[in-house]
Amino acid sequence: MVLAQLMPRRFRACLPLIFAVCLVLVASIPAVAGDSERPVQASIFVSRTEASPTENVSFWIWIEPLKEKARKLVITEAPLDGFDVTSTTIPDSCLESRRTWVCIQDDLRPFSIEVQAVAKAGTEGRDIVYGASVALWKNGEGHDNEDSMDPIQLSASVHSVPLSVVAEANVDVRLEANESAVMPGNPVTYRVDVTNMGNKTAHDVSVVVTIPAAMVVTSATREPTIRDGRVTWVLDSVPIGTTVLSFTATLPPANDLQQVDAAVAATYGNASGGQVRLANVPTSLVVLPMRPQAPLSPLPALVVVAVLVFVLRSLFLPAGPIVPALRRPSGPAEVFLLHRSGILLHHVTPIQSAGLDSDIVGGMLSAIRMFVETTMNPSTGPLQEIRFRGGSIVFVTGENATLAALNARGNRVRFGRRALGFLRQFEKSNAQALRNFDGGASPLQGIDDLMSERPEREGRREAGMSPGCNSAFHGQANAHSTP
């Protein structure tokens, strides 16, 4: 009462407020004293309060030891419900075992444990809680109530929201060639795969393939623009999926390129109105050397001509009556002595020439023999005889020369054996000259004896005629012997 009278009226009006503040301060003194008794302070922080599935969320467990007994702590993560932990970062003083960390500090200083997590699919609309507890490490012996501490429970919640989907195109291009190497003059086909992996159609897509300027584009799909080694397509739209473009080009024979490099690039618009440009790794093709053209061989033409000649001869020059044919002596009608190269060495015929050049006929006979022996199996040996309507051709082949007898009569096998003996004697007498024969003027020894006298005697002996009879071998010696 006395105090109230001594104080001014204005101060007396504030007395109730002052008494209330004093009561609050006095009541809070035990709580503060109790917190100061804790050996450790701990809290948890979160990087965001809302997250969609697959979006990353960071948690930090902040720990501050206050007393010596807080140097050894155990931090235990609560069971996860709605989160998948992707990574954890801990200080060097901590060890982790099954989502529990044991931390032993050298001094009393704060530290933190960082946990990266993502919300699981299907949690949209829920509050997902991440929690952990902090406690003193107990070794199990000699602890009294003074050292004990209830674990500090920490938690933070994140609200899971649906994932926002942005409609946009995502274009990729790839270039492939149908060959691993290019031959000048041969076509090469390139394929361009334009793939839209987004969820929206791409518009105004430009695809450019760069090739060497020397290459010539012969065909292409979608009518591109071709200029200075650039093949350009401008596509109004590319739907979701793969759109295939292609073109075919050739490399001219006259070029100095060692390899052909081709690259592809594309440009298209994105959802924000900008341009997206992308390129791919170039495709390289090795340029192969051109194959040399094989020289034209006269052998097929000679074979055809020879066959036609003998067929026509058998058709238009028949063998004649049977009785005169039986009266003819044995032996061949014509004999051609040929070098292994196909050149005519000597020609003997008992009849007048029918207008055929003996050199041409000899070349045809050589061509026929070489063609047959080349196409047949080598194990069959050299060609011995060709039979056709109205006649036959007997071949006797030596090392460097061949004897061809046309329309041989009598025992052709015995004739072949005797002719082989004559041919061997001729090759023995002219071995050096035949091996080095170049078609020039080189005399051959004994060619007249072999082609006239000995065959004549053998022909008479074969036919059983007297030496005075005409021999089939003894006819007109053609002047086409080697000069």
Q: Where are the domains of the chain?
A: 40-160, 171-287, 299-477
Strands 230-238 and 202-210: antiparallel
Partners of 468 in beta bridges? none
And the tokens for 380?
Answer: 């069959």
User: If pLDDT is split at 50, 70 and 90, which confidence band does 278 have?
Assistant: confident
The CATH topology of domain 299-477 is: Beta-Lactamase (3.30.450)
Report how far residue 442's alpha carbon sits from residue 433's, in angstroms, rounded to the nearest whole number.
7
Return the H-helix or E-strand segment holding 348. strand 344-349
In this structure, the chain runs to a length of: 483
Q: Which residue has the higher pLDDT, 82 or 417?
A: 82
pLDDT at position 352 over 60: no
pLDDT at position 221 over 60: yes
Residue with tokens 């329309």: 407
Given a contact cutoff of 8 angstroms between Cβ atoms, the answer to whether 347 and 339 are in contact is: no
Q: Which residue has the higher pLDDT, 330 or 153?
A: 153
pLDDT of residue 462: 43
Look at residues 185, 157, 173, 353 and name the one whose alpha carbon lies nearest to residue 254: 185
Residue range 71-85: mean pLDDT, rounded: 91
And the tokens for 482?
Answer: 């080697």
Given a contact cutoff of 8 angstroms between Cβ atoms, the answer to whether 190 and 249 are in contact is: yes
Angle between helices 299-316 and 358-375 (to 10 degrees): 110
And the tokens for 157?
Answer: 């919640």
Report how far residue 473's alpha carbon sits from residue 418's, in angstroms, rounded to the nearest whole number.
13
pLDDT at position 304 over 70: no
Collect contacts of 466-471 with beta carbons under 8 A, ≥24 apart.
Answer: 469/329, 470/329, 470/350, 471/329, 471/331
And the tokens for 225?
Answer: 């623009």
Q: Which residue has the higher pLDDT, 418 or 321?
A: 418
User: If pLDDT is split at 50, 70 and 90, which confidence band does 470 have?
Assistant: very low
In tens, the pLDDT along 92-130 reads 999 998 889 999 988 888 999 999 999 998 888 899 999
Report how far residue 312's alpha carbon sits from residue 314's, in angstroms, rounded to the nearest whole number.
5
Residue range 53-61: mean pLDDT, rounded: 91
**Strand spans (E) along 13-119:** 40-46, 50-51, 56-65, 72-77, 83-89, 94-96, 100-104, 111-119
Residue range 58-74: mean pLDDT, rounded: 91
Partners of 344 in beta bridges? 338
The CATH topology of domain 171-287 is: Immunoglobulin-like (2.60.40)
pLDDT of residue 392: 80
pLDDT of residue 393: 85
pLDDT of residue 216: 94
pLDDT at position 305 over 50: yes
Residue range 72-100: mean pLDDT, rounded: 91
Largest CA distance in the chain: 192
Q: What global pTM score does this model have?
A: 0.37
Look at residues 160, 153, 139, 159 and name the one whose alpha carbon lies nearest to residue 77: 153
Which region, left, alpha or beta, applies to residue 331 given φ > 0 means left and ψ of -120 to 50 means alpha? left
Report how far residue 215's alpha carbon sits from residue 287's, in angstroms, rounded to the nearest whole number.
12
pLDDT of residue 458: 45
Given a contact cutoff of 8 angstroms between Cβ atoms, the answer to whether 459 and 471 are in contact is: yes
In tens, the pLDDT along 370-399 reads 888 877 777 777 888 888 776 788 888 888
Given a contact cutoff of 8 angstroms between Cβ atoms, the answer to whether 52 and 158 are in contact is: no
Residue range 41-46: mean pLDDT, rounded: 93
Report how far residue 65's alpha carbon sits from residue 67's, in angstroms, rounded to the nearest whole number.
6
Report how far residue 208's alpha carbon sits from residue 262's, in angstroms, rounded to the nearest whole number.
10
Report, in angstroms and rounded to the nearest whole number, the Rg of the chain calculated over CA atoms.
55
Strands 171-177 and 94-96: unpaired
Domains 40-160 and 171-287 agree in fold:
yes
Assign 82 to helix, strand or coil: coil
Lowest mean pLDDT among 35-49, 208-222, 365-379: 365-379
Given a contact cutoff of 8 angstroms between Cβ atoms, the answer to whether 407 and 389 are in contact is: no
pLDDT of residue 56: 92
In tens, the pLDDT along 391-436 reads 788 888 888 888 888 776 666 677 777 888 888 888 888 888 888 7
Q: Please state which of the four CATH numbers 2.60.40.740, 3.30.160.20, 3.40.50.300, 2.40.128.130 is assigned to the domain occupying 40-160.
A: 2.60.40.740
Q: Which residue has the higher pLDDT, 347 or 465?
A: 347
